[in-house]
Amino acid sequence: MDILADTLRGIFRKRKERNPAQSAVFGALFICLGFGFTFGPLLISFITTPGENMLSEGGGGGGSAIWGMISTLPIGSVIALIGVIRLFSGFISALNATAIHEADESEQRIINAHKAIAIAALGPAALFTIFLIICLTALFRHDVTNGFFVLLALLTVSQVLFGGRAIFIARKTRDSKLTWTIAAFVTLILFGYLYLALSYFPHLFFVIG
């Protein structure tokens, strides 16, 4: 049985029919969707005002689109909140799951696979959240303090620890496809953190001049 494919196919099943890994992935998707929907008007304003003040409502500015957040903010917040609840409920359920028949190797493999997938699902939710926080701070304050770098560093370390744990658990399933997929996914999230660090805090990496 392809555990990874089965998990992905069942993400949008009815809530009672989803296993813990599917709930966690569903939650991560809803968090990203909720935040994306919430701040969609800002993106529209940015796209429609190249080289202009995106907050201006006149003179070529697309600031009027931001008024759309009156509608998107409450709806997107509810979507994101549902995502947070689903993500952590699935994550906790997956970690607490135990095999009914300890001698059943196939059952243990499925439980370990669900644990690995649920842990890996934390990565994109955290990355997308810090990405929005840093971008919005840079947009409205025109600078990002080094305090955000500390937060970014802590999240990166957490990703290494949790990602490493997910890979370790995935290896127990002896499913090479699942293991390599999670390893690639964890690495991709780490590159996302590196990109944010190099984009907003280059002075902490390089000495110019």
pLDDT digits (tens, 9 = 90+) for 186-203: 999 999 888 888 877 776
**Is 209 a member of any domain?**
no
Structural domains in the chain (count): 1
| 3-state SS record for 44-58 | HHHHHCCCCCCCCCC
Residue 108: inside a domain: yes
Q: What is the pLDDT of residue 208?
A: 42
In one-letter notation, the amino acid at residue 152 is L
Q: Are 108 and 99 a contacting pair, CB within 8 Å?
A: yes
Domain membership of residue 72 as a residue range: 3-204
Q: Over the stretch 115-143, which tens digit does the pLDDT of each residue have?
A: 999 999 999 888 888 888 877 776 666 66
| pTM listed for this prediction | 0.79
32 domain-assigned: yes
pLDDT score of 161 more than 80: yes
